[in-house]
Amino acid sequence: MINFIQSILYGLTIGGILYIISIGLSLTFGAMGIVNFAHGLIYAVGAYALYTVATLLGANFLVGAIAAVVVSIPLAYLIERFIIRRLYGQSIDYAIIATYAVLLIGADALKWFFGASPLPISDPIGELWYFGGLQMPAYRVIIIALSIAVFVGLSLFFKKTLVGKIVVAGLQDREAVRSLGIRVERYFAIVFIIGSALAALGGVLYAPLSTLDPYMGFEIIILCFAVVIVGGMGNLKGTAVAAFGLGLVHSLTAVYLVSSAADAAVYVVMAVVLIFRPIEASA
Residues 65-94 that bind another protein (CB under 8 A): 83, 86, 92-94
DSSP tag of 87? G
Alpha helices, H only, 83-183 = 92-114, 138-160, 162-172, 174-179
Q: Does 2 bind another protein (CB under 8 A)?
A: no
Residues 110-139 that bind another protein (CB under 8 A): 111-112
Query: Closest distance between another protein and the C-beta of residue 200, in Å?
Result: 20
For residue 226, give every residue at least 6 positions away whose Cβ sits within 8 Å of its Cβ, in sequence order, or none. Answer: 242, 246, 266, 267, 269, 270
- Residue 59 or 274 having the CB closest to another protein: 274
- What is the C-alpha radius of gyration for the chain, rounded to an integer number of angstroms? 19
- Residue 20 or 35 having the CB closest to another protein: 35
**128 strand-pairing partners:** 137
Instruction: Considering only the stretches 121-129, 136-144, 147-155, 225-233, report the one whose residues sit in contact with another protein under the rule CB under 8 A.
Output: 225-233
What is the Cα–Cα distance from 50 to 63, expressed in whole angstroms? Answer: 8
- Residue 150 or 227 having the CB closest to another protein: 227
User: Residue 161 burial by CB count (10 A; 0-12/13-18/19+): exposed, middle or buried?
Assistant: exposed
Residues 233-262 that bind another protein (CB under 8 A): 258, 260-261
Query: Closest distance between another protein and the C-beta of residue 275, in Å?
Result: 5
Binding flags for another protein, 96-115, as an x/- string (CB under 8 A): xxx-xxxxxx-xxx-xx---
Distances, alpha carbon 236 to alpha carbons 21, 25, 228, in Å: 13, 11, 10
- Residue 54 or 229 having the CB closest to another protein: 229
Residues 207 and 25 sit within 8 Å (Cβ to Cβ): no
Query: Residue 222's closest CA among 22, 23, 32?
Result: 22
List residues binding another protein (CB under 8 A): 29, 33, 35, 83, 86, 92-94, 96-98, 100-105, 107-109, 111-112, 215, 218, 222, 225-226, 229, 258, 260-261, 263-264, 267-268, 270-271, 274-275, 278-279, 281-283
